[in-house]
Structure 1
Amino acid sequence: MNGDARRITVTAPGFPRRGHLPVGDAPAGPDAIEVTSRYVERAGRPWFPITGEIHYSRLPRERWSEVLGHASAGGLTSVATYVLWQAHEPEPGRFRWDGNLDLRAFIGLAAQHGLDVVVRMGPWAHGEARYGGFPDWLVERDLPTRTNDPEYLALVRTFYAQTVAQLVGLTHAEGGPIVAAQMDNELYDQPEHLARLRQIAEELGLRVPIWTATGWGGAQVPETLLPVYSAYADGFWDDEQTPWPAFASSHFRYSPVRDDLTVGADLREALDGIGVDTGAVPLTDDDAVPFVTCELGGGMHVAYHRRPLVTPRDVEALALAKVGSGSIWQGYYMYAGGTQRTGPHGPEQESHATGYPNDVPRTTYDFAAPIGEHAQIRPHHHLLRRQHLWLQEDGHRIASMTSTVGGGSADPDELRWAVRSDGRSGYLFASTYQPAAQPLPGQPDVQVTVDFDDDSVTVPTVPVDLPAGASVVWPLRYPVSSSVVLRSATAQVLTRGWDDEGELLVLAASEGVPVELVLDGALEVGGAGTGVVRDETTVVSLVEPTGPRCVVGLPGVRILVLDPASADRLYVLDLAGRDHLVLSDAPVYSLDGALVVHPDEARHTLSLLPGVPELVADGARLSDSRADGPWHTWTVDAPHAGRTTLLSGVEPQATAAPDPVRGGPMNRLSAPTDFTGAAVVHVDVPAELLDGAHRALLRVTWTGDVGRAFVGDRLVSDHFWHGRTWDVDLTPWAAEVAEQGVRFELLPWRRATGVWVHPSVRDVPDGVHVTSIDLVRVGRARLTAAGTE
């Protein structure tokens, strides 16, 4: 390759436009939020929010705090949530805000966990809800909904008035956590209606700095609302004949294009009668508004006819590609899964029975999210946290930087790369990652030169091979301290920490990429690094393996270089009023100055930097602390955590399987409703295994078509098999489970039916095969620093 092919010139961006958008705080205060043409400002400096979708009405109220705690520990700065009309006004004029419908309490709890809130007010939400969240009584009136029809707007006003009343005192202007409100969802051709919804909310007293509407699908968004965008690695809403949605690959490349015409396209066509010509929609940047996302796929739901298998690495790479493309607000859908509601008219999930194109599961809305339906912590919670720690640390710099694409084409043989820069410093993004549907090869001899306004940086100094499946971001001319500049590094910035010896910059190595650090000037290097002065720089090589003890000493500052596995274990959490770097094998979050740990194994380790003289545990046993490089480390024994196999190697026989049926407006495969011939598996759960556990899950590893789980006659879970294990939460029914056990009804897999599942799991035999059913016990331990309570 010609050397100039990987050379790019970046310049300082001009000043953003201000005052042209009808959003932002007025009057301004010390924590004022302003939206410019390129980024959002808060308290006078660029701000990089990180938002995750969590639906309070789809979670048990007693689990809110745990899920919000994990979300905060995962690096989110805010949560978004739908206000589902059908849940709050199940009958005309009868509103409910009690139990897990207490929106006000949920928002207050989010604030306790340090999270801002985005309220997605509807009135139509979609969210895979029955009638998109509309109450049945509204649908039965056959009004021209989602328009400015006076009768419809009168009903919306009543619903909005009730919602706004729940938000009094909680908005940003009132010192509360609510920073934004979204009007409707996925409305493409009614800009006047979207604008009217904001007017109604304001007339009812709602004041928020940011008003949004979803902008994908070529939507017509009025000037009074900020368009926000989506990006998914796959979609259950496509047809069963589709190997991979047409737009999906674009989200793994660096590009100024924000739109996606495939997200929700089935509903657009089936319900609204709107078809979008991909050649007629300008999929380009918009210089008037910043690049904001609200639905980066945190996973993916499944429908009966099409069941994607989005992986943690898919989620990680897509999110990082959007930062490299210029996103200034990362928003995930979903960040935490939940359970579909049951209302007075029955199940409240999207289905063919309610005129929608897709049949989705009756109960589960797990979405394969970073936090699962039952607060399970998934690998992408950790992978995304790496990015979020960096964005929290450096977001004020990144938000103001513009993105310049060096290589972003669909050509699999071309290195995909971009630079995000302020003209003098920045970050190099490079990727060889694309999902298994169309994987990319590795790239040999990777080396890039970036010409800044006043200098050029070549990284790395010696070309390296970037392995297949890599997605990296490397700092360029990064200020480590007032006197030390990291000219380049082949490791990712994570965060900073402090102990008695001073400041630490924390980096993470990437799998298969040797770590090189290049510093401006001739500097003394010690600890885990050795330096060679070359061309007025110091090139640092590591003499110790990357990991928790790999600390490079520099004048007045140190650099800790973690290996990838340790980076996945890293948190920044408050303990006794001070932020600590935390390495934990078990999921952990901070609450009221204590660490709350949720292990699913009987033993794990936890390390702190800086250390504390003594930790005290409630709900676990702690070893004495031991020094581990700069860390203090404890072994934690959790007596109520662990896994027990209850059943394995079973092949129950189904006496009959229902014939395939198609339905809905797009004639797709419908979920079976006849389980009379299903294979039945009964699992007894000893009561002593349920005692003392914070949460108890049955984890089913199986192959088949559709499964349902019952406790007595109560349906407690269902599952469309798609290659993942199936978790059934026993905690709410522990007493009944101890007496009656759990009954599974399992329909057999029949490949001839034509259901789409991922090719990596498709080659399974017909029938029902249960590899194992395990009881997973999750504990809860509260760790405090001795003397702080």
Structure 2
Amino acid sequence: MRKITTFILAVFLISGIKAQTTYTINIDQPEQEIIRGHLDLGGSNPAGEEITVNSYYIEKDGKPFFPIIGEFHYARFDEKYWEEEVLKMKAGGINTIATYVFWNLHERKEGIFDWTGDLNLKKFLELINKHQLYAIVRVGPFCHGEMRNGGLPDWLYGRTFEVRSNAPEYLDYVDRLYGEIGKQTVGLLYKDGGPVIGIQLENEYQHSSAPWEFMYPGSKKDGTVPDREAAFSHTQITVTDGVNPWSEYGKQHMVNLKKLAKKNGLDTPIYTATGWGNATIVEKGSLPVTAGYAYPFWSDPRPSSFYLFKDIRKKPDYSPVSYNTDLYPSISAEIGPGIQVKYSRRPVVDYRSVNPLMTRIIGSGSNGIGYYMYHGGSTPVLEGKYYNEEANGIPRINYDFQAPIGQYGQVRYHFKHLRMLHLFLDAYADVLAPMKTVLPETNTGIKADNTETLRYAVRSYGNSGFLFIINFQDHIDLKNIEDVHIDIHAKNETFSFPSIGTFDVNETTSAILPFNLQLEKALIKSATVQPLTILKKTEMNYYVFHSITGIDAEINFPTDTKISKLNNARVTMVNGIRKVSSNTSGPFSFTANETSILVIPEDMAVNATKINEDLYISDALILKDTNKLQLITRETENQIHIFPAQKRDLAASSANIKKANTLHKGFDSYTVTFDEIKPDVVIEKATSRKYTLQLQSIISNLNDVFVDIDYIGDRGLAFIDGKMITDHFYHNRTWELSLKNFASELNDNQMVFVFHPMYSDYSYLKDLNEVPEFIKGKYLEIKDFKVIPEYKTVISL
């Protein structure tokens, strides 16, 4: 046999034909057992809609509901602009917004609560409700979130009782806090017809703590935990040994918190508690939520395990855990699509890493995903006090987090790429959620530093399912995996990807490929394109897929399928199947058994969003605001392509809109142009490391003006009239700053930038992708200031 194999390989080499690597996986395995009625969770609203939780997924009216949760802290953003940011999150595919209630911001002086301005929780929840999203309110009392004392007020430190304990005095304070939060949520809970479907109790309880700010240079940190738990409490998320001598005490504390929440009206279908690293939950009374940070600032940079498929429900990341995993679905609350930098550590998140990370988590069996942070912000300065976690070296104001939506609402690369995934989940959650995870035999042999072997898994139910593929690993050089062929063996049939031959899996690729997927009258046997969304129109439904860069697009049907209305597509017979593929690289469409199918290239899908059951494709950001659209862009000329084509009379404010050449049959295309506006901003050098910015006139007819600062150094600080307005720790990316938030202050004042040099012995240099050549042990270079206008128009339909 060895001689035959060697001979075949030699033939391949001589002939120039590449030898394929065939991967196989057997999905003929027992289905996932689903338990119902065992959890003290669930509830209904006045319309009779019901949310329940089984052991495998959340249900809404008896059907799977897949929460896509984005963290956004209302207190870290100007309330004047909350609504636009909520619309951005909705446009990104978020269906649930999570937010912390930071106790120390609201009760800065004991007994006096502040819910005004940027602290107006009620207004924030009302906006979420207005735009038909759900909310999870993380009520603490301990939150962390890189906040001063983890969100606990300073005045608690000098008390005789211990915080995060069952001391009656402490629980009395929690009772009062929950009572005040309860007043803010009246009428906004799910039971009252509002958006709040969930309450998170505490955070990382009996796992980690934050440092009290009552410390001195050189002193050890004093954590926000009872003394008895200090020995096994961590400063950040980590794997533990699973030993908790105070487990029973902790379980009672979580039960106490839930009782106090319900006593104060915080009664929701779902209660969550962070469950990673042996953290304590309310047994059978809260959902344990999971986490995953591939670029943490609290450990040395090294390849993580978060890009390796696993059965994530049975063995969550940061195991061991304190609960019986068979009783709960796997739902994450804190997957890091970015990370905060701190003074001594500056991890740089590769934005291309986030989609593969999420694909791995879903393919591993998660039935809900949550991002921390999905939207960055700025921690407020109140009465002259900074509230970011200075003891851990967090920037005093900047909480950008390298998030999909940045500190000032900037939409980034991973916002668009995650939106593709969210569209898929929105359309196919009911199909996906009951599916078990099946891993190939090769999976156990893959380690984080192995970039040679394909990483893949299947989620299936019966003979139907999805093939999940990724080619990414953090903190390591990547390369393409060439000549891949995958066979999925089900009962009595095999599905091949591709149908014949091989494909290459490019570095950073993530893909979700269907097999035995029923679309009305048509059955897709297999496909090398990813489902994107379903457009449910009155006359018919349209099933939209997108190709994967580097992989030839094909959709395969049984031989008796009637294929018609082909546009830029052809049909061939391959191995007893009817294969539809494209003629050129652009979109292609057809009907299969009268079912309408559209396939668009990945670079179009990245710019696609679903609005009113239409598909809008544009480089610009398009937001749905009740009965109109908002278009936000930094370009003066923008294209919009809308599918399906129909008679539309579009009008735009502050811009010109006109019909353009059609992108593809079935689309309407438009061009939106703005008159160029050059903001009247003057930037001058004051000293070798200080610059001034003067706004000569108010910002008008623009949505915002950004200043993009390209420098290499240690940090930059910005001031107006001697008051620091933000700060930036250098981490290989330019510093982005919005002027909209400060326009009124800049009418009579200038902005002053102060830069500090980087030194060759700084500990964070190991995080940077590029390190400068130091001159006499230090380096500072201020390269450029770019002033970038951001345009906005309202489009009436």
For 2:739 and 2:314, the matched residues in 1 are separated by 41
Superposition map of 1:503-522 within 5 A? 503-522=541-560
Q: Which residue of 1 aligns with 2:399?
A: 365
Q: Does 1:581 align with 2:615?
A: yes
Post-superposition shift, 1:285? 8.2
Q: Which residue of 2 aligns with 1:730?
A: 739
Instruction: Return the letter of the residue paired with 1:379.
Output: Y
Q: Which residue of 1 aligns with 2:337?
A: 298
Instruction: Return the letter of the residue paired with 2:389.
Output: E
Q: 1:709 aligns with which of 718, 726, 751?
A: 718
Post-superposition shift, 1:441? 3.2
Q: Which residue of 2 aligns with 1:250?
A: 305
For 1:311 and 1:720, the matched residues in 2 are separated by 17
Q: Which residue of 2 aligns with 1:620?
A: 655
Instruction: Return the letter of the residue paired with 1:510.
Output: I
Contact 1:312–1:383 under 8 Å retained in 2:
no
For 2:662 and 2:539, the matched residues in 1 are separated by 15
For 1:561 and 1:464, the matched residues in 2 are separated by 18
DSSP-derived class of the 2:203 partner: coil
Post-superposition shift, 1:62? 1.0
For 1:389 and 1:513, the matched residues in 2 are separated by 21
| CA separation of 1:67 and 1:718: change in aligned 2, threshold 3 A | same
For 2:75 and 2:480, the matched residues in 1 are separated by 44
Q: Does 1:748 align with 2:757?
A: yes
| CA separation of 1:39 and 1:261: change in aligned 2, threshold 3 A | closer
Q: 1:76 aligns with which of 54, 72, 94?
A: 94
Contact 1:74–1:388 under 8 Å retained in 2:
yes
Q: 1:592 aligns with which of 617, 623, 626?
A: 626
| CA separation of 1:645 and 1:345: change in aligned 2, threshold 3 A | closer
Superimposed CA distance per residue, residues 102-151 of structure 1 (whole angstroms, 9 cap, x where no aligned partner): 11111111011121000101000000000000111122325311111110
Post-superposition shift, 1:204? 1.9
Contact 2:20–2:502 under 8 Å retained in 1:
no
Superimposed CA distance per residue, residues 270-295 of structure 1 (whole angstroms, 9 cap, x where no aligned partner): xxxxxxxx8xx369982111001001
Q: 419-428 vs 18-27, which deviates more? A: 18-27
Contact 2:45–2:191 under 8 Å retained in 1:
no
For 2:180 and 2:722, the matched residues in 1 are separated by 36
Q: 227-236 vs 496-505, which deviates more? A: 496-505
Q: 362-371 vs 253-262, which deviates more? A: 253-262
Q: Could you list the runs of 5+ residues in structure 1 that have no partner in the other structure?
A: 264-277, 353-357, 654-678
Q: Does 1:233 align with 2:294?
A: yes
Instruction: Return the letter of the residue paired with 1:176.
Output: G
Q: Does 1:198 align with 2:234?
A: no
Instruction: Return the letter of the residue paired with 1:255.
Output: K
Post-superposition shift, 1:419? 0.2
For 2:58 and 2:678, the matched residues in 1 are separated by 45
Post-superposition shift, 1:553? 4.0
Q: 1:18 aligns with which of 18, 24, 36?
A: 36
Q: 1:684 aligns with which of 694, 701, 708?
A: 694
Greater than 4 Å deviation, 4+ residue runs: 1-5, 26-29, 258-263, 282-285, 498-502, 640-648
Q: Which residue of 1 aligns with 2:365?
A: 326
Post-superposition shift, 1:388? 0.2
Contact 2:696–2:747 under 8 Å retained in 1:
yes
Q: Which residue of 2 aligns with 1:770?
A: 782
Contact 1:233–1:315 under 8 Å retained in 2:
no
For 2:681 and 2:553, the matched residues in 1 are separated by 42
Post-superposition shift, 1:687? 2.1
| CA separation of 1:638 and 1:4: change in aligned 2, threshold 3 A | closer
Query: How many percent of aligned residue pairs carry the same amino acid?
Result: 29
Q: Which residue of 1 aligns with 2:670?
A: 634
Q: Does 1:546 align with 2:580?
A: no
For 2:773 and 2:67, the matched residues in 1 are separated by 43
Q: Does 1:106 align with 2:124?
A: yes
For 2:679 and 2:27, the matched residues in 1 are separated by 55
DSSP-derived class of the 1:157 partner: helix
| CA separation of 1:147 and 1:284: change in aligned 2, threshold 3 A | closer
For 2:515 and 2:324, the matched residues in 1 are separated by 25
Q: 2:572 aligns with which of 517, 532, 539?
A: 532
For 1:500 and 1:8, the matched residues in 2 are separated by 40
| CA separation of 1:262 and 1:251: change in aligned 2, threshold 3 A | closer
Instruction: Return the letter of the residue paired with 1:256.
Output: D
| CA separation of 1:233 and 1:643: change in aligned 2, threshold 3 A | farther
Contact 2:686–2:692 under 8 Å retained in 1:
no
Contact 2:355–2:414 under 8 Å retained in 1:
yes
For 1:165 and 1:479, the matched residues in 2 are separated by 48
Q: Which residue of 1 aligns with 2:108?
A: 90
| CA separation of 1:127 and 1:27: change in aligned 2, threshold 3 A | closer
Contact 1:90–1:344 under 8 Å retained in 2:
no
Instruction: Return the letter of the residue paired with 1:466.
Output: V
Post-superposition shift, 1:315? 1.5
Post-superposition shift, 1:220? 2.8
Post-superposition shift, 1:508? 1.3
DSSP-derived class of the 1:201 partner: helix
Superimposed CA distance per residue, residues 37-71 of structure 1 (whole angstroms, 9 cap, x where no aligned partner): 11111111111111100111111111110000010
Q: Which residue of 2 aligns with 1:434?
A: 473
| CA separation of 1:553 and 1:285: change in aligned 2, threshold 3 A | farther
For 2:661 and 2:316, the matched residues in 1 are separated by 55
Post-superposition shift, 1:423? 1.6
Post-superposition shift, 1:643? 8.2
Contact 1:195–1:225 under 8 Å retained in 2:
no
For 2:559 and 2:255, the matched residues in 1 are separated by 56
Post-superposition shift, 1:501? 7.8
Superimposed CA distance per residue, residues 24-48 of structure 1 (whole angstroms, 9 cap, x where no aligned partner): 1279984211111111111111111
For 1:134 and 1:282, the matched residues in 2 are separated by 26
Superimposed CA distance per residue, residues 584-617 of structure 1 (whole angstroms, 9 cap, x where no aligned partner): 2211110112111111122211122234421011
Post-superposition shift, 1:479? 1.7
For 1:595 and 1:215, the matched residues in 2 are separated by 40
DSSP-derived class of the 2:94 partner: coil
| CA separation of 1:285 and 1:644: change in aligned 2, threshold 3 A | farther
| CA separation of 1:27 and 1:102: change in aligned 2, threshold 3 A | closer
For 2:365 and 2:649, the matched residues in 1 are separated by 44
For 2:34 and 2:678, the matched residues in 1 are separated by 54
Contact 1:600–1:642 under 8 Å retained in 2:
no
Superimposed CA distance per residue, residues 137-172 of structure 1 (whole angstroms, 9 cap, x where no aligned partner): 122325311111110000010000110121122111
Could you state the TM-score of these two structures normalised by the residue count of structure 2?
0.86
Q: Does 1:212 align with 2:272?
A: yes
Contact 1:256–1:284 under 8 Å retained in 2:
no
Q: Which residue of 1 aligns with 2:156?
A: 138
For 2:353 and 2:32, the matched residues in 1 are separated by 34
Instruction: Return the letter of the residue paired with 2:771.
Output: R
Contact 2:292–2:336 under 8 Å retained in 1:
yes
Post-superposition shift, 1:744? 0.7
| CA separation of 1:314 and 1:259: change in aligned 2, threshold 3 A | farther
Q: 2:484 aligns with which of 443, 446, 461?
A: 446
| CA separation of 1:635 and 1:142: change in aligned 2, threshold 3 A | farther
Q: 748-757 vs 327-336, which deviates more? A: 748-757
Contact 1:551–1:560 under 8 Å retained in 2:
yes
Contact 1:602–1:642 under 8 Å retained in 2:
no
Superimposed CA distance per residue, residues 76-107 of structure 1 (whole angstroms, 9 cap, x where no aligned partner): 11100001101111111101111121111111
Q: Does 1:7 align with 2:25?
A: yes
DSSP-derived class of the 1:381 partner: helix
Post-superposition shift, 1:298? 2.2
